Amino acid sequence: MNNAVEYAKALYELKDDLFSREEFLADLKEVTKIFKNDILRFFLHPGIEKEKKKEIIIKDFSKRDIRDFLLVLVDNDRMSILSDIVYEFECMVEEEKKMLKVIVYSKEKLEDSYLSKLKEKLEKKISKKIFVINKLDENIRGGIKIVYDSKEIDLTLNTKFSNLVEKLKE
Domains and CATH numbers, the chain: 3-96 (1.10.520.20), 100-169 (3.40.30)
The pLDDT, as a whole number, for residue 170 is 80
Alpha-carbon distance of 10 to 153, in angstroms, equals: 32
- Chunk the chain into consecutive blocks of 10 residues (it has 170) and report each block's average pLDDT, rounded to whole numbers: 87 86 94 89 94 95 94 95 95 85 93 93 87 92 92 92 88
d(CA 157, CA 163): 10
DSSP β-ladder status, 151-156 and 143-148? antiparallel
Burial of 73 by CB count in 10 Å (0-12 exposed, 13-18 middle, 19+ buried)? buried
